[in-house]
Amino acid sequence: MSKFEKKITLAITGASGSAYALRLLECLLSANYQVYLLCSSAARIVFDTEVGLKLPASPDAATKYLTEKFNAQPEQITVFGKEQWFSPVASGSAAPKQMIVCPCSTGTLAAISQGMSDNLIERAADVVIKERGQLILVPRETPFSTIHLQNMLTLSQMGVTIMPAAPGFYHKPKYINDLIDFMVGRMLDHLGIKQDIMPRWGYSNN
């Protein structure tokens, strides 16, 4: 029996919002999930730009770096490269049933909506859809064009959850981390993971 609660695929693209991804990863690890991590080249650039994190390009080096950074258990984080087609996430017989793309660029969203699989992120999402698993996309763009909205509608009609990075303010946030936790808390809710990082409606600080 696995020592981890569940397995999940976390994909990170080049959309703005890398802090959401890092906080989500932290929460998934705290919930004792084993995480298969997919990170695009653009995402590594955004990590450096937004939070000063220099994620190694090598999957093995990135795995070691994140394991140490988050003090994760051995084998709890595995980073896969964009063309590692023999990784578990590329096959319906081995991929986790849950996947979240956070943040999700509109380019990745478009590719997923059309069933394109030019890299491992797109292939992993395609696998989750075809296997009737749970796929959550967290787009961060504004405004949305008609093309973006049509792609979102297509995916929503397939059962994909579209969760734009649009935090609420009813909990009276004082810091950026409060806004980050609002969104990550909603993601955890939809993944069925118990969380207390975000106050519930009706229980916010007044």
Residue 1 in any domain: the answer is: no
Residue 206 in any domain: the answer is: no
Distance (Å, whole) CA 198 – CA 48? 27
- Say how many residues make up the chain: 206
Question: Could you write out the three-class secondary structure of 28-94?
Answer: HHHCCEEEEEEECHHHHHHHHHHHCCCCCCCHHHHHHHHHHHCCCCCCCEEEECCCCCCCHHHCCCC
Residue 204 in any domain: the answer is: no
Residue 99 in any domain: the answer is: yes
pLDDT of 109 reads 98
> Which amino acid is located at 12 in the chain?
I
Cα dihedral sign, 175-16-183-79: negative
Q: Report the CATH number that the domain containing residue 182 is assigned in CATH.
A: 3.40.50.1950
> CA separation (Å) from 21 to 18, 62, 165, 206?
5, 15, 11, 29
pTM of the predicted protein model: 0.95
- For residue 203, what are the contacts with CB-CB under 8 A and spacing of at least 6? none
Range of the domain at 76: 6-191
Into how many domains does the chain fold?
Answer: 1
Residue 164 in any domain: the answer is: yes
Cα dihedral sign, 72-121-118-130: positive
**Distance between alpha carbon 137 and the CA centroid of its chain, in Å?**
7
Question: Is-contact 15 139, C-beta < 8 A?
Answer: yes
Can you give the pLDDT of all 206 residues of the chain as single tens digits?
579 889 999 999 999 999 999 999 999 999 999 999 999 999 999 999 999 999 999 999 999 999 999 999 999 999 999 999 999 999 999 999 999 999 999 999 999 999 999 999 999 999 999 999 999 999 999 999 999 999 999 999 999 999 999 999 988 999 999 999 999 999 999 999 999 998 777 764 54
Residue 90 in any domain: the answer is: yes
Distance (Å, whole) CA 58 – CA 86? 16
* Strand, helix or coil for residue 173: coil
pLDDT of 203 reads 63
pLDDT of 206 reads 47
Strand partners of residue 139:
104
Residue 135 in any domain: the answer is: yes
Residue 22 in any domain: the answer is: yes
Distance (Å, whole) CA 3 – CA 8? 14
